[in-house]
Amino acid sequence: MSAVIWVSPSIIMRPDPMPGHAPRSRFGQGKKGGGRDRATAVTPQTARAFSGKPWRSCPTGAARMNSPRLTGDALRAIRHRGSHLQIIACAGSGKTEVVAQRIADFFTEGVEPAAVVAFTFTDRAAQSLKRRVEQRVAERLGEAFLGKMNGCFIGTIHSYCFHLLQTYVARYDNFDVLDEHELTAFLMRVHRTIQLKAIDGQLFSSLKAFTRNLQVVENEAIETSQLQEPFGDILERFHEELESHKFLTFGQVITKAVEALDDPRVFTAVHDPLRHLVVDEYQDINPAQEALIARLATSPVHVCVVGDDDQAIYQWRGSDVGNIVGFAGRYPNVASFAITVNRRSRPAIIKTANRFAKSIEGRLEKEMRTHRDAGDIEVNCWRLSTEEEEAKRIAGTIAALAVKGFRYRDIAVLVRSSASYERLLAAFAAHKIPVQPGGRAGLFREADAQLFGRTFAYLAGYGWRPTTYAVEEPGTLDDLVRAYGDRFALKGARRKRVYARLERWRLEAQDATGPADLVGDYYALLGDCGVSSWDLRDGCAIARLGTIARCSGILVDFERTHRRPRLDPDVPGQVIGGQDRGEWYFRWLAIYIQNWALGEWEGFDGEEAFTMDAVDLTTIHKAKGLEWPVVFVPGLTARRFPPQATGKPMTWLVPEQLFNKARYEGSLNDERRLFYVAMTRARDWLSLSTHDRPNTQKVPPSPFIRDVAEKMSGYCEAISLPSVANAGNDESDILSVTVSELAEFKICGLAYRLRRLIGFQPPLAPELGYGKAVHHILRNVAEYTRQHKEAPDSRWIEDLFDEEFYLPAASKPAHRQMRDGARRLVDRYVTSHGEDLKRTWAVERPFELHLDNVVVAGRADVILGEEGGSHGALVVVDYKTATDNGQHVDRQLQIYVDAGRREGLDIRAAYVHDLHAGARIAIDVAPDQIKAAEAEVLSVAARLRARDCPPSPGVVCRTCDVRAMCRHAS
């Protein structure tokens, strides 16, 4: 018997970001939210695919603007049907509008939403495209049609693949995806088992070499059998460890999805409904992703790829510009259109970028054309003596622009790397220029993070190095308490409490008789330090809380990978517990903080805001796809742009004949593309600048700015400011939330803020994931019943529990106890409601409710058909276990019913099924209750927009995991 269930095509995938990666991704760091809710959290551009920002906002302009009239190749691209399509879209040419109108036109022609899949490169781009599509659909088909778009996927490839696996290959439903920090922590845990140090004898150098080569294997879809020892054997053992711990790497999400499509049942379920595949930013696709696209784009599906080879800036991460350059040669019957009118930038900016683009080798021949009228002087190219002077001039110019009438958010400063941040931030601070939140500095540059590191070094009996190459500082309890006293202004009894807690914690760290509670104990220490008294209206207090919250994320990453049990290969249904206590547990944590987190964790990037007026200071890579009226590109020296390491050979464990190593090592051509992208972010005014000395040693200018300056008759002496007439317009944001986030906010707005916006992580409890594990079992039971027209017998269910029941934080005894309890719940359900199982219409069914400028997403556990004996009549059922908190399930189910009815489903009723009590509770879904639910959603959305997160002290405070940071806790 196999407990693997293949889910039927009626279960529709959604573009939800991948769990546990909201916040941080290889493509852009973010912060982890309060939970690892399956409907929440991606990308990397996701690891971390997979952004938990509690909401995702995207500029959409007027809520219901009229479609701009397009002509020429843009219009022909929208209207083309009957073959594959390649759209070469130059910078600023309005490709999002072209794609949105094309998708909207599909629906007006009668194409089902489930027949359209659109891939974007980032979560932010996905939200932008989705909102634009919704605008165009509403114009063509009316607002009511938005409720029927639930089957249309618009999102990242990683998000699509993860949901493909979880939807159509049920065994992956209880797998989690490792981000880069968790991957490192996991490799530390299993390094002996996989013999990682066989690479070069040292743990962390071997670890870094392994992960660098692992990315190549996954990006290029290289078979393990093609690799040489020792790397090949290490990788095989690593894959075994991932499987036994139910983890996937970020790259595996793609390769496993492609493997799943090799199964005819999965391929049929995924491919049969599909007719149109759209791939945005196609120039940034890697070989593994291209393999997925090629599988999906088989007849009768037509693929439309959109991109610009001049903007291929991610080859160092595996993307292959050859995909877009050679697309017409790989796919049959390709129609190609070039959208070359740049509607974004002023003519002088376009002229400068066009001239520079000619230096990019191997590009498709094209030239941007102008659309807008010329303004004043649009490009300034200048040079000063020192980096500090350059930063001060930029800050002074921004201040002058603000006086002239520009909003700060109309301005961006784009840098090649984080090396340029320090002096710019200092200059902005001196001029009191607000800066948009963003992880621009290492976490451990903050004093609170340094104190955090010292604390866990002390608990492990180690010294602490404040920087990577610093001399280790021995730590004593007196030294540590003195540091806490200075940092938190501790006196008298409070100082004594901190001393006693640290002394006791050190003793407990050596004790292996009970599990450690890293996050809970850390929060208790913060409570002793008086953090709860901090004023959350104070920006400095929020910044400090954010730093401390980031530190809690380090603890959770370590705990999540080290406490996680692995499947017992000798005893079906049992696990071998992970590590959760004792001296070496704390030592490995200290080693992880000192040797990885110290150098790799980025700092708190602030709370997301909808209307913050502040300058964007970010890297060019992160600015891809964005635009501003005013753009500064500073630090254009020969050492920073291109970086000195560009093109330098690296040591590879993957045979060089299996991949093009030059893509990963970088080239001058790649840097030229990046510079081209930087210039084309500007709408009205562009500043390019360099300096002669970052410190004392003189460095020449970048060859890129030299090239521009020569064509402009040299560097200018004074900067000419632009007219304010063309500053950006106000934009409307659409708030996207999940039903679980709404419930959490209703319980306590302040706790929601501390978890979701500031980033405090919950402690890992042994019962973590119990409800999800039970739901996973019931999903399999329901699918079996639907396929076989009868409920499974006891032996099948026992085998299912052996293979699929899994708790990610439980010890062996706790796992056994909760498994037995879950088995009793499932047996009772099958016995009492076996007939309902035969009526299963869908499981894990996603819904989206579209209201005024807010979208609520969630998943119903099960939908039953034939309600009341009526064909097509449905009922929504949500399971509740003893460990569920039952947060406002009435509103949750009313939202599902509302969304389903807007889709056109005939949903007659909704129930909460209490698995523990065996009771089924009816939820009122009459029209007045549905309207009340909608009003409540709009009310919460308004509060979230206004950052109005009020506390709700009371009984809930007893179990609140962030009460140590809350002055209102009772």
pLDDT digits 0-9 by tens, 715-758: 888 888 888 755 445 445 678 889 999 999 999 999 999 999 99
Place of tokens 């796919």: 331
803 inside domain: yes
- Same domain? For 718 and 645 the reply is yes
Instruction: Tell me what pLDDT residue 210 has.
Output: 97
Last residue of a domain, one of 554, 570, 600: 600
- Same domain? For 651 and 758 the reply is no
Each residue's pLDDT tens digit, 78-87: 999 999 999 9
Mean pLDDT score, 151-180: 92
259 inside domain: no
Place of tokens 């070039």: 338
Last residue of a domain, one of 723, 754, 789: 723
824 inside domain: yes
Q: How many CB atoms lie within 10 A of CB 563?
A: 24
**pLDDT over 50 (residue 771):** yes
- Same domain? For 562 and 594 the reply is yes
Whether residue 849 contacts residue 856, with contact meaning beta carbons closer than 8 Å, is answered with: yes
**pLDDT over 70 (residue 98):** yes
3-state secondary structure of 779: helix
Instruction: Tell me what pLDDT residue 879 has.
Output: 87
Mean pLDDT score, 623-636: 93
12 inside domain: no
Q: How many CB atoms lie within 10 A of CB 57?
A: 20
**pLDDT over 70 (residue 795):** yes
- Residues 124 and 734: their CA atoms lie apart, in Å, by 12
3-state secondary structure of 655: coil
Taking Cα atoms as reference points, which of 793, 797, 794, 795 lies closest to residue 779?
A: 797
Torsion of CA 233, 235, 240, 245, to 10 degrees: 150
**pLDDT over 50 (residue 106):** yes
- Same domain? For 548 and 480 the reply is yes
Q: How many CA atoms lie within 13 A of 282 on its CB side?
A: 29
Instruction: Tell me what pLDDT residue 46 has.
Output: 29
Instruction: Tell me what pLDDT residue 732 has.
Output: 56
Each residue's pLDDT tens digit, 124-148: 888 889 989 999 999 999 988 988 8
Mean pLDDT score, 310-316: 90
**pLDDT over 60 (residue 10):** no
Instruction: Tell me what pLDDT residue 12 has.
Output: 31
Q: How distant, in Å, are the alpha carbons of 42, 157, 257, 353 from that of 250? A: 10, 11, 12, 35
* Residue range(s) defining the domain that contains residue 412: 377-436+614-723
- Same domain? For 545 and 618 the reply is no
Each residue's pLDDT tens digit, 650-681: 889 999 999 999 889 989 999 999 999 999 99
Instruction: Tell me what pLDDT residue 622 has.
Output: 87
- Residues 87 and 337: their CA atoms lie apart, in Å, by 5
303 inside domain: no
Instruction: Tell me what pLDDT residue 47 has.
Output: 31
Which helix (H) or strand (E) is 598 found in, with range?
A: helix 598-600
Whether residue 96 contacts residue 25, with contact meaning beta carbons closer than 8 Å, is answered with: no
- Residues 142 and 272: their CA atoms lie apart, in Å, by 28
- Same domain? For 707 and 746 the reply is no
Share of the chain above pLDDT 70, in %: 91
Average pLDDT value for the chain: 87
Instruction: Indicate the residue type of 347.
Output: P
Instruction: Tell me what pLDDT residue 23 has.
Output: 31
Instruction: Tell me what pLDDT residue 869 has.
Output: 81
- Residues 596 and 615: their CA atoms lie apart, in Å, by 31
**pLDDT over 50 (residue 898):** yes
- Same domain? For 663 and 776 the reply is no
Place of tokens 């110019």: 397
* Residue 24's pLDDT band (cuts 50, 70, 90): very low
Whether residue 811 contacts residue 565, with contact meaning beta carbons closer than 8 Å, is answered with: yes
Instruction: Tell me what pLDDT residue 871 has.
Output: 86
Each residue's pLDDT tens digit, 226-240: 999 999 999 999 999
Instruction: Tell me what pLDDT residue 65 has.
Output: 54
- Residues 289 and 444: their CA atoms lie apart, in Å, by 35
Mean pLDDT score, 23-45: 31
- How is 548-561 classified by DSSP, letter by letter? HHHHHHHHHHHHHH
**What CATH number should be reported for the domain holding residue 659?**
3.40.50.300
**pLDDT over 80 (residue 322):** yes
- Same domain? For 536 and 648 the reply is no
Q: Which tokens is 484 given?
A: 């806490």
Last residue of a domain, one of 723, 750, 766: 723
**pLDDT over 90 (residue 797):** yes
Q: How distant, in Å, are the alpha carbons of 22, 222, 249 from that of 218? A: 22, 7, 9
Which helix (H) or strand (E) is 857 found in, with range?
A: strand 854-864
Each residue's pLDDT tens digit, 409-448: 999 999 998 889 989 999 999 999 988 876 667 899 889 9
Instruction: Tell me what pLDDT residue 25 has.
Output: 31
2 inside domain: no
For 731-750, b/e burial (b = at least 16 CB within 10 A) is: ebbbbbbbbbbbbbbbebbb
Instruction: Tell me what pLDDT residue 447 has.
Output: 92
Whether residue 312 contacts residue 321, with contact meaning beta carbons closer than 8 Å, is answered with: yes
**What CATH number should be reported for the domain holding residue 867?**
3.90.320
- Same domain? For 417 and 472 the reply is no
C-alpha triplet 269, 270, 272: angle, nearest 5°: 70
Whether residue 359 contacts residue 703, with contact meaning beta carbons closer than 8 Å, is answered with: no
Q: Which tokens is 869 given?
A: 């004996």
Q: Picking from 49-63, 300-314, 404-418, which range would have the lowest pLDDT averaged per residue? A: 49-63
Instruction: Tell me what pLDDT residue 278 has.
Output: 97
**pLDDT over 50 (residue 350):** yes
Instruction: Tell me what pLDDT residue 315 has.
Output: 86
Share of the chain above pLDDT 90, in %: 62
**pLDDT over 90 (residue 170):** no
85 inside domain: no
**pLDDT over 50 (residue 878):** yes
Mean pLDDT score, 918-944: 93
Instruction: Tell me what pLDDT residue 146 has.
Output: 87
- Residues 464 and 879: their CA atoms lie apart, in Å, by 48
* Residue 32's pLDDT band (cuts 50, 70, 90): very low
- Same domain? For 703 and 778 the reply is no
Look at the chain and count its residues.
970
- Same domain? For 673 and 768 the reply is no
- Residues 566 and 578: their CA atoms lie apart, in Å, by 7
Each residue's pLDDT tens digit, 179-220: 999 999 999 999 999 999 999 999 999 999 999 999 999 999
Instruction: Tell me what pLDDT residue 41 has.
Output: 27
DSSP-derived pairing of the beta strands 840-851 and 341-342:
unpaired
Count of structural domains within the chain? 4
- Same domain? For 791 and 774 the reply is yes
* Residue 152's pLDDT band (cuts 50, 70, 90): very high
190 inside domain: yes
Mean pLDDT score, 252-275: 96
Mean pLDDT score, 497-521: 93
